[in-house]
Amino acid sequence: MTPPLTERVNPLRDPRDRRLPRIAGPCVLVIFGVTGDLSTKKLMPAVYDLANRGLLPPGFALVGFARRDWEHEDFAKIVHDAVKQHARTPFREEVWRQLSEGIRFVSGQIGDGDSIRRLRDTIAELDEARGTGGNHAFYLSIPPGLFQTVVDQLREYGLAEQRYGQWSRVVIEKPFGHDLTSARELNRVVSSVFPSSSVFRIDHYLGKETVQNMMALRFANQLFEPVWNNNYVDHVQITMAEDIGIGGRAGYFDGIGIARDVIQNHLLQLLALTAMEEPTSFEAAQLRAEKQKVLAAARPAERMDLHTARGRYAGGWQGGVKVASYLEEKGIPRTSTTETFAAIRVDIDNRRWAGVPFYLRTGKRLARRVTEIALGFKRAPHLPFSSTDTAELGYNALVLRIQPDEGVTLRFGAKVPGTQMEIREVNMDFAYGGSFTESSPEAYERLILDVLLGDPPLFPQHEEVELSWQILDPVLDYWASLDEAPESYEPGGWGPACANEMLARDGHVWRRP
């Protein structure tokens, strides 16, 4: 007998068919800290873009929780304005109308029982009115110090309960602690309420198309993987540069610095994806297992005085605009020793990468906003050309551009037209925008959809977080032991001189993206 056509069993759909879009089931998304910049500029527009692409069901609801004294209509107006200003896809009135019917706001304080009770009642009303089926995702866009209070209250009021046929998930934004000890404590707090399969740690870089394309580049092609090892790769540079200062984030940033903010999560995750072995499948467990092997084998260089660098931007001119130094930023104490630039060398003790240094750098007020992974290849062991023929030839490089112009560049030597055998570097380029008619979704679109679908491959688990802290903690401890401020660097450049000296000791230079 043919089974009845239900949400769970559709005889016309083959789960192996990837051509059909993945559409979330009925659910409620609750955002704590909904008045912050992240929510306004990223989360709300991403929710609208998902709805506009037809990836959210009619039975979807969005609930904001914050201290503001707003009514539902006030919050809907905030979402409306955020969507019109920041959404990737065009604004369509009919999409907004359907989405806005499920928008609610709960005014309250974190830690206040009456507030959480009102939230519970609002969610129950939506389950009934919108048919959201008891499926709830809680996005904690709040400081980590408030996590325990929130998850404890979710448990106390029954919102974290995993009932049969329903789900309850929690989403955590970085930072995942400020060192190994605090990361373990944070995991203890969250895992005491939610099972690990229901905890989603957001690293938005893992939602970017080029990061995911790295796995396709390596494992879908015979061309690259044979040279993706220490027989051919000389060194790897992973850069995340920003051309802005700290903006209005003084209170957050000065307490952690850029190494904790970027290297511990974004850059070490990119390192893991670059260096990992081929997984047996792209299921979450297999991907995580390979990333964890790499992070377990990675370590900072032994001589941290030679192979780490930190800096702090000075005041000056950038892009024709006079900018303040870090110490002149509003809210920064004059005694601060927080770094705004960090570079470290990481070595990986395994057969594939032994002897290949990985250089990670990140900074603010640099020359341009760019994130890339560059594999520098060894020079040919013998060149049948004179030294003048190859004077302008550098090393071959494969560059994965993650932002802003997503794509891949292969740099190699070619003959200059003419009668002489002169060889010069040229680029072979692949750009997402020029090769595909499909537009790339924003990272938060992909990640929010994955949360609602319960699809975990792009989310690091606590083991990866702890391994990353084990790599970075010795560097932070070394810097803390120094009785000196970070080296100053001019805005609009590529960081302090000590970063260039760090690579020069190994016979390398930083790429100019």
Active site positions, annotated: 266
**Nearest-angstrom CA–CA distance, 142 and 19:** 37
Sheet strands (E) in 128-208: 136-140, 168-173, 199-202
Q: Is 208 annotated as a binding residue?
A: yes
Q: Is 84 annotated as a binding residue?
A: no
Find the helix packing angle between 462-481 and 268-275, rounded to 10°: 120
Phi, psi of 435, deg, nearest 5: -105, -20
3-state helix, strand, coil in the chain (%, to 5): 35, 20, 40
Q: Output 315-319 pairs: Cβ under 8 A, ≥24 positions apart.
A: 315/491, 316/490, 316/491, 316/492, 317/491, 317/492, 318/243, 318/365, 318/491, 318/492, 319/243, 319/492
Phi, psi of 511, deg, nearest 5: -70, 150
Classify strands 308-313 and 341-348 as parallel, antiparallel or unpaired. antiparallel
**Nearest-angstrom CA–CA distance, 452 and 45:** 16
Q: Tokens standing for 235?
A: 């060194």
**Nearest-angstrom CA–CA distance, 381 and 448:** 48
Classify strands 60-66 and 103-107 as parallel, antiparallel or unpaired. parallel
Q: Is 261 annotated as a binding residue?
A: yes
Q: Is 204 annotated as a binding residue?
A: yes
Partners of 369 in beta bridges: none
- Evaluated on CA atoms 431, 434, 436, 438, the torsion sign reads positive
Is the peptide bond prior to 175 cis by the omega test (within 30 degrees of 0)? yes
Q: Are 272 and 203 within 8 A, CB to CB? A: no
**Nearest-angstrom CA–CA distance, 43 and 442:** 10
Residues 6+ apart with CB under 8 A from 434: none
Which among 204, 242, 206 has a CA at the least distance from the CA of 38?
Answer: 204
341 alpha carbon, distance to own chain's centre:
18
Q: Are 339 and 311 within 8 A, CB to CB? A: yes
Q: Is 178 annotated as a binding residue?
A: no
Phi, psi of 8, deg, nearest 5: -85, -30
Q: Is 364 annotated as a binding residue?
A: yes
**Nearest-angstrom CA–CA distance, 423 and 413:** 6
Phi, psi of 496, deg, nearest 5: -75, 160
Which among 266, 119, 126, 138 has a CA at the least distance from the CA of 207?
Answer: 266
Q: Tokens standing for 176?
A: 């995942």
Q: Which residues are annotated as a binding site?
A: 67, 174, 204, 208, 242, 261, 364
Q: Which residues are annotated as a binding site for substrate?
A: 204, 208, 242, 261, 364
